[in-house]
Amino acid sequence: MSNLAKHVIKIPFNVFTKIEKNSIFIKGPLGKQTLNLLLKIFLNENKEIVVTDEILQIFINDKTLTSRVVQGSTYALIKQIFLGITVGFRKQLTIVGVGYRASINNKILLLKLGYSHPVFIKIPPHLTVKCVKPTVISIFGNNKQEVNQMAALIKSYKMPEPYKGKGILYQDEKILRKEGKRS
């Protein structure tokens, strides 16, 4: 059994939770999310969620699925949804380079990254993207995967290079700098 799944998940006081056959619906102050489940979960007498290692009837025919593999992941995903619904997730990117900057206009992120053309990225409606400074982009949302996916998409347009350190970096990322040519 997974060490994580031995624990119970406490439901925050301002969150509504509904468990159906193969899904859990969670609604809180920052939005709502649904998670399809492979394992059975239930509420105990203290109104806490318990993840069992019992596979749902729909998936029993699949021979490759083992309950122990999925149990810890299910626990972590449910816990992550509760965190996203109550607090949210934030990712900050820093743009390093002379003349590199970002701005937002009509739900479209405009990046000037030294190319001959500006880069336009459409912002999804469920994410909040702000330009704190012309060189700092902040992404906020209630789904960790979507926030990280948007940050990775933005970063992919100008990966940091190791010689001068120019490009788009995560806020806490350090670039290992290489030494240039010696003469």
What are the sequence ranges of the domains in the chain?
4-86, 89-170
Q: Which fold has domain 89-170?
A: Outer Surface Protein A; domain 3 (3.90.930)
- pLDDT tens digits, 137-177: 999 999 999 999 999 999 999 999 999 989 999 999 888 89
**pLDDT at residue 123 is higher than 70:** yes
SS3 of the chain: helix, strand, coil, percent, to 5 = 20, 40, 40
**pLDDT at residue 4 is higher than 70:** no
pTM, full prediction: 0.83
pLDDT at 139: 97
Count CA within 13 A, CB hemisphere, residue 56.
Answer: 17
Q: What is the CATH number of domain 4-86?
A: 3.90.930.12
- pLDDT tens digits, 33-86: 998 888 888 888 888 888 887 776 555 555 555 666 778 888 889 899 999 999
Q: Which helix (H) or strand (E) holds 156?
A: helix 144-156
Same fold, 4-86 and 89-170: yes
